[in-house]
Amino acid sequence: MCARLKQADSRALPQFAAEVWWEKMTDGRFAALFGTEVVLVPVPASCPRPSAAWVGARLAWCLKEMGLARAVWPCLRRRYPVRKSAFASPGERPTVLEHYASFEVAANRVGAGPAGRVVLVDDVITRGRTLLAAAARLREAFPECEMGAFALMRTLGRGEAPARNPDPCEGQVRWQRGDALRIP
């Protein structure tokens, strides 16, 4: 499932978005996160690609098409690449500060801040460093904005197994002791 997500499979992404919609409609999961006033902000990939839509952006558009948000607003971009977490050992992954320094809010977007609630969209969350850094960078540009985050998949800890596949959950990412802490 993760491989299909990372490849931005044109059939899989709409299916994944439909599953999120289904969770919201049937179980009430994500009800506080998505809605008609929400603006989705895709979190850029680790390497800047100005001409190509990355997985987070494609996922955001699919979620919007499912009626889970009002708009997609790709205002965040990478100024320079950071190491890709998926291929780095735990001690080698980019820090929150490295991600933060690499992000910028597109200058032509700053004056046109989003109305309503902003939800950052990423494909996979491990510790939450990328989402925490993206939220901090957006908070600088739009201090009044209410913010949330969504990642379609999460990594599991040692010995942890999903209850089902997919296994959506709600949780938090916090700054604790100089690093990101994801719960669950």
Range of the domain at 114: 2-24+33-183
Number of domains in the chain: 1
Which tens digits make up the pLDDT trace of 27-49?
Answer: 888 888 999 999 999 999 888 77
Please name the residue that has the structure tokens 């919007």.
Answer: 64
Q: How far apart are CA 72 and CA 121, in angstroms?
A: 10
SS3 147: strand
**Residue 127 maps to which CATH number?**
3.40.50
| Residue 29: Cβ-neighbour burial (10 angstroms; 0-12, 13-18, 19+) | middle
pTM above 0.75, yes or no: yes
- Nearest partner of 14 among 75, 52, 67, judged by Cα: 67
Of the candidate ranges 20-34, 52-66, 111-125, 156-170, the one whose mean pLDDT is the lowest: 156-170
Q: At residue 176, does pLDDT exceed 80?
A: yes
Q: How far apart are CA 182 and CA 23, in angstroms?
A: 21
